[in-house]
Structure formats: structure tokens, C-alpha cells
Structure 1
Amino acid sequence: MKKMVWFAAAGVMALAACQEKAGYTIKGTAEGASDGDIVYLQNRTENGFEALDSTVVKGGAFEFKGVPDSVAALRYITYSNGDSHMAAMIFVEPGTVTVNMSAQESRVSGTANNDVMQGFMDEYKRINDEMESIYKKATTDSTLTAAQQDSLMKVLDGKEAEGTGRILQMLSENVDKAAGAELLGMFGMGFEVADVQPLLEKVPAPLASNPSLVRLKEYVDVRVKTSEGQKYTDFALDTPEGKQVKLSDYVTKNKYTLVDFWASWCGPCRREMPNVVAAYAKYKAKGFEVVGVSLDSNLESWKKGIADLKITWPQMSDLKGWKNEAAGLYGVRSIPATVLIAQDGTIVARDLRGEDIEAKLAELLK
């Protein structure tokens, strides 16, 4: 009988050993930190950071130990003392993670997802620094001729295309990992929907509930629904005078209607507006209309912007800023942004800028 008890106990212990989760160790340094200073392991929520653990700096270093509460959870190591503030993104997963924090840069390594994240960030920074160097030379070097400046800007365009391709490649290679899925959620909205959509489809089901990925998928779904060739989505907002009007009031009465998302506080919008003014003056008589949708939140600023920029076409807004209902319906995440709609309700083009507006209208309104 005793043997049976011992055998049963041994079996329970063996089962427990098999089920025991592997732990993590985070070893780090924080530049300038003094012994006795506190370093926090935190989770980021919609309401800010939430402290999960803390440790004391000893001998210029700190250490956390524990068991992951989920598979490769994204967390933050933070340190603050007076004017010194440092943070590092890390994936808490089984193994030993090394963190070196400084005011200029934090580096993380040691486990699979942290190595993926750091490698991506290093490559992203390399590409960005290279592009910034070319842009700075093209725009600030007074010894360059106009032709040389144009040549550098063409080189910059090539570098941008090359960099975009490289970043998308890295995302594609790692989207099946927690780090790759997180990076896709962080950077996905900066790429073309046609490039992002197939990457979303490659995300494994256990990672698809990542909040940033959920938001990205919602954004992609909206952009696909309002892409070229699709029927437009109607909406109703108020004019500056407080009268509610619908987008359909204009679409049905004109051959082509350009919905122009802008705001009085938006510098790029103000610089782009002369192109819209010119196109409107040239093609209004041929059946072209513009409907401005302002992402302003202040009525008087909106009205002043209309007057200052010599805008004479219809205007609409709900004065909710970035929470503008129409912007949400069309997946507008940056302005200026445009949607060109034909009289039958078909979306003809999106995000026409500069000379492209008149070129498209010349093609359509011959």
C-alpha cells in the first residue's frame, strides 16, 4: 500500500514538473543610475503605464526574475530620476534578456523575440538615418545647383522605395512571431493596404488578438471598403453656418466630387490648398466639385482657415478633430487626404496631391 502511495505521489510530482512554466531573467543597466534607484517592469494600458514589478539598482545593474504570464508579452522597463528618463520595450519570455538603457538609445537582446525586435529597430534606424542625410544635403547645401538638388531627391525616392521593401520583407519573415506581429501593428498603417493585407492573413490565430493588430485590421477593412472601384459611403455633417448636409447632396449633382480632408491647423494642408484652389477654378464649370471635410475642433479657427486660404467650395465638419466621423468612415489617418468620387458613386481615386489632381481631372473631364 505504501508503495502505491509513493508511486502516486511521484506521478503527481512528475506531472507538475512537466507543466511548470519556464522562467525569465532580465539583466540590465541604466546609464547614470545609482545604487538604490528603482527600476520598474511595466505594462502599457489605454490609461498609461501599470507597474507589474520593481527592483533596486545594485552595483550599477538591476535584475528581474519571474514566470511569463502569457506567451512573449510585450512589456516596458522604465527608469526615472530627476531629469533622467529611460525606457526599453522588451518581450518577457523564457530565457535571459539583456537590457542596456541610456538617454540616447536602449538595446535589448538574448531571446528570440527580443532579437527580432532589436534587429528590426536597427535596420529601421539605418534606413531612416540614410534617408535623413540625403534629405538634409538636398535641402540645406547652398552649393548645390537646382539640377543637383533634383537628382538627390530622386535618389531619396529610390531609397524610400528600397527601405519600404526591406521593412516589409522583415515584417513578412517574422509575422508568425510575437515580435513580428507587434511590429506589424506598430508600423502597418504607414504602408499601402495592398502590402499590409497579406501580412495580416499570415498572423497566427493566437497572436491575432493583439490590440494593435485588431486596430490595424479594422483600418485595413475600412480602406478596402473605400478603395478605388468601390461605392462611396455617405455621411452627414454640419456646414460652418450650422446646417446639416450630406455628401450625397454634392456627389449626385456633379460629374466628379473631390472630398478634401483638411484642418486649419494642418501645415501640409495649407501648403497643398493652392493646388486644390487651382483645380477647382479650372474644372468647376466642367462638372467638378470639392467638398471640404475639416478635422478642426474650433469653429472660429475653421472659419478663419476658410477665409485665409480662399476656399470657396462647400465645407463640412463635426468639430471633433481626429475623431471626425467621416474621417473614420474613410480610414483617414493623416491629412491632407482626398477621395475622388464619380457621379454614379464610384470611388475613382484616393490621396491625389499636387499636380496629380489636375492630371486626373484632365483625363476624366476632357
Structure 2
Amino acid sequence: MRIILLFIIALSVSTTCVKKNECEFSLQGKTVGLSNGTVLYLTAKESDKIIDSVVVENNSFSLATDITSYPLNVILKNNDNSLYKSFWLDNARMEFNASENDFANAVIIGSYTQTLYANLYESIDTLSRKDQEKVLIDFIKTNTDHILGAVVLSECYILWKKEKTEPLYLKLSNQNKKSIYGEKILRYINLNKNPKIGDSLIDFELTNQYGRTTKLSELKGKLILLEFWASWCAPCRTDNKKLRVIYHKFNPLGFEIFQVSLDDNKKKWSSAIEQDKLDWTNVSDLRGWNNEAAIIYGVSLLPSNFLISSDGIIIGQNLREENLEQKLEELLLADPIEKKKSSK
């Protein structure tokens, strides 16, 4: 019943502009504690393109600009991102009220899409993961024609994996399939292979921090740890210190690390490599969780890894610290007969 009521409330907001072009988009804003002359930028979230800007005076601002496509996911922010709020625009008269809350928790009024989206995630906030998934799947099935059906699926496919994602994608309207969110989902479906222990490595090529394109298969013939990480992942950074010790111990014996970063900022990625003193192959396409290799290998958590034998077979997954070192000792320090046994 609660879910139904949420959608009824959202629907009532959508009646603000009944006919196309009956009213144009506008945004009236109220803030607190901002200096006169503070500049706010309205940007498209997916492209980071600036749509418009406005100057705050007396903790108020007003925006009225032509938007070519609705609904549109946007960010309102200042120059250094210390003020930042993401929300959905509709072709309506909207309000942005941060007079009683901090900027990031501003209340958005007048957008059917924003209300629908916010109510959805508010409704699942206290549910178990299983119940959350059910509500989200039902939402997608109910909103195959609305952009939020594609948006929610694009936010969940990494956790839901291909077997749950593909049938839901096929239910989306053709318009949603052609949207940037639909294209993102289809890319995942086409790339994802989800290899398991016993499967052959799946090759890919990405660029290292110096701009050189490198393939995983270039290390074939070595014992390879394919490691997924990111500069913003604290457990990954801790693991890097331990990996350095393991790498220098086993590298002379034929062990290599091929590390894939899920960063989207080259400066932060390169800086982390330098800080952690990583002297093995490091690559990225700077697409965050949409990283090609991460999608191919079905990575949904960081850190994650795959241990690949010298003949290109996956022989271990998510081996950490002592387990990784023990496995490497079995493979690289044991006598030939024992090596053959441990690689099976």
C-alpha cells in the first residue's frame, strides 16, 4: 500500500504542465548562508555539460532556460563542488529549497520524475536487500516506457548480473533502449562473460597511466594475478601494500600482476599508483564501474581478483593475503610433481 501511495503522490505532481509547451522549465531557488555573488552551474549529469549558470543574491536565485529534452538528470553545483545537488528536471515550474537543509539535501518541488525517483529509493531504504530487489524489479516492469525504468536498471545491473538484467532490458520500450541508459545496459549485456575457475582467460586491452595500450594476453606464460581496484577504495589501498611484498617475493619466479583501476579520474589514479609504489602493469579506461574489463569479468565488489595460470586458465578467485601467498608458494616453490597437483 505504501508503494502505491508513493506513486499516486508522484502522479499528482506530474499535472503541473498538462500540455506540451504549456509552461517552460524554470527553477526558483532558496538557500541559506551563501555569499552574494556565489555562482551556481546547472550541468547535465551524464555529459557534465554546463546548461546554464546563475548568481545567488540574498540567498535566492532564479533559472529559466531552454532544455531540449525532458526528463533530464542534472547537477546544480558551484565551481569547486563544495555545493552539489543531483536531481531530475521536468518541463515544469520547479523549486529548489535549501533554506532549511544543507545544499546537498535541498527539497525539489515540481518535478514528477524527481518525486517518483526520490520516493522509490525512500520506500526501500529500510528493506532487506531481497525486498529492495523485488520493489526495484517491479518498478522497472511498471515503468518500461518511462526513462526511470531504464535508469534504475542501469544502476542495478552490476549487482544483479546478466541473468536478471537481460530479461528486464528486453521489456524496456524502444525509446528507453535507445537512451544513454539503455545503451549502457546493452553494452554490459554484450560484454559480460562472468568467467569462473577452470575457464580460459578472456583477453582485453586497456591503456596504462603513460598512454600505452596493453593486453592481458601479453603476460601469457607467466602466473598472473588480475587485480581490480580503485584509488578511492580504502581496502584496495591497504591490499596494495601487501601485494608489493608478495610481488617482489614471487616476481623473479614468474609471477606478474595486471591491475585494472575502476577510477574515472586519471590524476587520482596516477597519484595513487605513485603513492602506493606500484611497479607492475596498471591499466584503466577511466569509466568507473563501466570499466570494460570489470564488466567482462563480472566484477561487482572491490577489491576483486583472478589468478591465471601460465597457460591462461583461471585457477583462483578473490585470493587475499595469506591465501594468495600460500597458493603462489604451491605453484612456484613446490617441486614439479606438486606444482602439477596444485594447478588442478
TM-score range for the pair, normalised by the shorter chain length: 0.5 to 0.7
1:227 to 187, 191, 195: 195
Q: Give the aligned partner of residue 225 of structure 2.
A: 258
How far has the Cα of 1:170 moved from its partner?
2.1
How far has the Cα of 1:282 moved from its partner?
12
Q: Give the aligned partner of residue 182 of structure 1.
A: 151
Q: Give the aligned partner of residue 91 of structure 1.
A: 89
1:280-299 mapped onto 2 (5 Å cutoff): 291-293=257-259, 295=261, 297=270
Larger Cα-atom Rg: 1
- Between the aligned partners of 2:270 and 2:38, the Cα distance in structure 1 is 43
1:92-107 mapped onto 2 (5 Å cutoff): 92-93=90-91, 97-101=94-98, 102-104=101-103, 105-107=105-107
1:200 to 150, 169, 176: 169
- Between the aligned partners of 1:106 and 1:49, the Cα distance in structure 2 is 20
- Between the aligned partners of 1:276 and 1:39, the Cα distance in structure 2 is 43
1:200-219 mapped onto 2 (5 Å cutoff): 200-219=169-188
1:27-66 mapped onto 2 (5 Å cutoff): 28-32=28-32, 42-44=43-45, 46-51=47-52, 64=64
The SS at the match of 2:50 is strand
How far has the Cα of 1:72 moved from its partner?
2.4
How far has the Cα of 1:206 moved from its partner?
0.7
Amino acid at match of 2:90: V
Q: Flag structure 2 segments of 5+ consecutive residues without an equivalent.
A: 1-18, 262-268, 331-340
Q: Give the aligned partner of residue 70 of structure 1.
A: 69
How far has the Cα of 1:173 moved from its partner?
0.9
Tell me, yes or no, if the aligned pair for 2:228 and 2:305 is still in contact at 8 Å: yes
- The alpha-carbon distance between structure 1 residues 115 and 352, as it changes in their structure 2 partners (threshold 3 A), is farther
Q: How many residue pairs were aligned?
A: 292
- Between the aligned partners of 2:45 and 2:214, the Cα distance in structure 1 is 41
Q: Percent identity?
A: 19
Which of structures 1 and 2 has the larger relative contact order (alpha carbons within 8 angstroms, sep 6+)?
2
Q: Flag structure 1 segments of 5+ consecutive residues without an equivalent.
A: 1-18, 128-158, 307-314
Tell me, yes or no, if the aligned pair for 1:260 and 1:337 is still in contact at 8 Å: yes
- The alpha-carbon distance between structure 1 residues 221 and 231, as it changes in their structure 2 partners (threshold 3 A), is farther
Tell me, yes or no, if the aligned pair for 1:27 and 1:97 is still in contact at 8 Å: yes
Tell me, yes or no, if the aligned pair for 1:297 and 1:321 is still in contact at 8 Å: no
- The alpha-carbon distance between structure 1 residues 98 and 172, as it changes in their structure 2 partners (threshold 3 A), is farther
- The alpha-carbon distance between structure 1 residues 298 and 167, as it changes in their structure 2 partners (threshold 3 A), is same
Amino acid at match of 1:191: L
- The alpha-carbon distance between structure 1 residues 238 and 84, as it changes in their structure 2 partners (threshold 3 A), is closer
* CA offsets 1:151-188 (integer angstroms, 9 cap, x no match): xxxxxxxx8xx237515632551352212323443x33
Tell me, yes or no, if the aligned pair for 1:116 and 1:180 is still in contact at 8 Å: no
How far has the Cα of 1:116 moved from its partner?
1.5
Amino acid at match of 2:259: V
1:173 to 120, 132, 139: 139
* CA offsets 1:6-62 (integer angstroms, 9 cap, x no match): xxxxxxxxxxxxx965535656442337999987765446353221x8699899685
Q: Give the aligned partner of residue 146 of structure 1.
A: none
1:156-171 mapped onto 2 (5 Å cutoff): 162-163=128-129, 165-166=131-132, 169-170=135-136
Q: Give the aligned partner of residue 301 of structure 1.
A: 274
- The alpha-carbon distance between structure 1 residues 112 and 321, as it changes in their structure 2 partners (threshold 3 A), is closer
Amino acid at match of 1:225: K
How far has the Cα of 1:338 moved from its partner?
1.1
1:191 to 152, 159, 177: 159
Tell me, yes or no, if the aligned pair for 2:244 and 2:278 is still in contact at 8 Å: no
- Between the aligned partners of 2:79 and 2:307, the Cα distance in structure 1 is 52
* CA offsets 1:68-108 (integer angstroms, 9 cap, x no match): 633423345x4769999464512314x65454334241223
Amino acid at match of 2:47: E
The SS at the match of 2:270 is coil
The SS at the match of 2:190 is helix
Amino acid at match of 1:227: P
The SS at the match of 1:208 is helix
CA RMSD of aligned residues (A): 5.7
- The alpha-carbon distance between structure 1 residues 353 and 112, as it changes in their structure 2 partners (threshold 3 A), is farther
